[in-house]
């Protein structure tokens, strides 16, 4: 007996923004309906991070359509963002020259993002 899952995922690895900034936006869109989340990202003040999340959500929606061979409007389903994971990716380490021949380390952080989409039947 095979159970069919309706969960679809999309991920973005190596996004050039720190995980702390990414988690602020991730908390904003978690458990939201997908089109509402896209609207929230349109009006977010963190433009660079919200642009990355917007691309990821559009990819997620495309993955869902490809898996189910249908458009969103054909069935009465409520697509929502089930889970958002933001983990730390690779860190680029650079040196910044400071007085007396020293160097201070600069860490340029990146993030790995994974988003899961699920659906609920509307009642």
Q: What is the CA angle 28-13-30, rounded to 5?
A: 15
Q: How many domains does the chain have?
A: 1
Instruction: Report if residue 57 sits inside a domain.
Output: yes
Nearest CA to 20 out of 120, 95, 107 is that of: 107
- What domain range is 62 assigned to? 8-121
Query: What local confidence, expressed as pLDDT, does residue 69 receive?
Result: 80
- Residue 29 maps to a domain: yes
Residue 2 lies in a domain: no
Classify residue 32: in a domain, yes or no.
yes
Assess if residue 13 is contained within a domain. yes
CATH number at residue 74: 3.90.470.10
Q: Is residue 96 part of a domain?
A: yes
**Residue 1 falls within a domain, yes or no?**
no
Average pLDDT along the chain, 123 residues, taken 10 residues at a time: 72 96 95 94 95 95 86 67 96 96 96 93 57
């Amino acid at each position: 007996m095979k159970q069919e899952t309706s969960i679809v995922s999309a991920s973005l690895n190596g996004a050039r923004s720190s995980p702390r900034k990414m988690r602020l936006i991730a908390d904003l869109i978690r458990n939201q309906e997908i089109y509402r989340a896209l609207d929230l990202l349109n009006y977010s003040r963190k433009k660079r991070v919200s642009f990355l999340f917007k691309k990821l959500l559009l990819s997620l929606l495309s993955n869902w359509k490809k898996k189910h061979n249908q458009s969103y409007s054909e069935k009465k389903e409520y697509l929502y963002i089930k889970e958002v994971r933001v983990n730390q990716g690779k860190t680029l380490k650079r040196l910044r020259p400071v007085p007396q021949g020293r160097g201070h380390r600069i860490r340029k952080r990146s993030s790995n993002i994974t988003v899961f989409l699920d659906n609920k039947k509307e009642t």
